[in-house]
Amino acid sequence: MASSELRVSIDDVRAAHARIAPHIHRTALLTSRTIDERVGARVTFKCENLQRGGAFKMRGALNAVLSLSDAQAAAGVATHSSGNHGAALAIAAGIRGIAAYIVVPDNAPRVKRAAIEGYGATIIECAANVAAREATLADVVARTGAHFVPPYDDARIVAGAGTAALELLEDAPDLEQIWVPVGGGGLASGCAVVARHAGVAVVAAEPAGADDAFRSLANGAIAPMLNPQTMADGLRTPLGRINFDILAACGVTVSLASEAGILAATRLFFERMKLVVEPSGAVPLAALLEAPAAKKGRRIGVIISGGNADLDALLTAFNAGDTRC
């Protein structure tokens, strides 16, 4: 796919940033000498765990909601989400003054469900599989007339997510690589659009137990998500169509992380940087620590995607060395 055929352009990302900037945090950049030594490079972290709603998802959800016409927004918005997108959409709906309906799988982390409810959305529970999510959402939309805002496979979401990389490269313009987590691909594809324009490489990090993006980009076609087994609950979603097209066109590579590595990286954030990072947000650091030196640049940016961790489950896992949290 040629650059001119991409569904999202750098101008779309810039327009999204202008639209959402009054309502989001321009999140901090932090570094750690210990992590630099362990990675073997200078690593700059963009802390989207400190974003409103505790995750980068605020960027895409708000861009989508603020892009709606009054007629589209009148009946509210709806989505399916294991947590972070649902919370972000609830906040965005509150800013716009409209209702939000969130279909949540019954195995969603307690802390994420509580956040969605706390931001004023209506929760509709469903079984923990894609078919149940989609069927329940279709029923909600039919009953309420709400406008569906997808969690990642949507140009507005991609453009909004890409604003994280836009800020990162404005604040740290000498980076050679950006490492981001990949699940559905909204953040990774948005960052790829920005990084390609800037001449910076993007590496998408993925759990080895949920490696559909790795298989998809290696084979040149979307591969199914096969029974994902990872503590990184935000990355258990299948890769989206728009997202795959952008990642493939931009030449993004995928680096895998083990479950033990993800748990260790999450703990490293706690102990060395005093940051609460959910396992999904720790996947890029885990992949960096496990990757061969030849795959790493000298100046690396890492986007910490979120901090909505279930602390009880994490502390139990830390104490037991158990990766199944």
Position 305 scores a pLDDT of 98
pTM over 0.75: yes
Among candidate residues 321, 206, 182, 204, the one with its CA nearest the CA of residue 264: 321
* Side-chain half-sphere exposure of 71, counting CA atoms within 13 A: 0
What is the tens place of the pLDDT at every residue in 55-95? 999 999 999 999 999 999 999 999 998 789 999 999 999 99
* Beta strands per DSSP E along the chain: 29-30, 42-47, 77-80, 100-105, 122-126, 147-148, 177-181, 201-207, 253-257, 299-304
Position 322 scores a pLDDT of 56
What is the spatial distance between Cα 193 and Cα 180, in angstroms, rounded to a whole number? 13
Series of mean pLDDT values for 10-residue runs along the chain (325 residues): 66 98 98 97 98 96 98 96 90 97 87 89 90 93 97 96 98 98 97 98 98 97 92 92 97 97 96 96 98 95 94 83 53
Per DSSP bridges, beta strands 29-30 and 42-47 are antiparallel
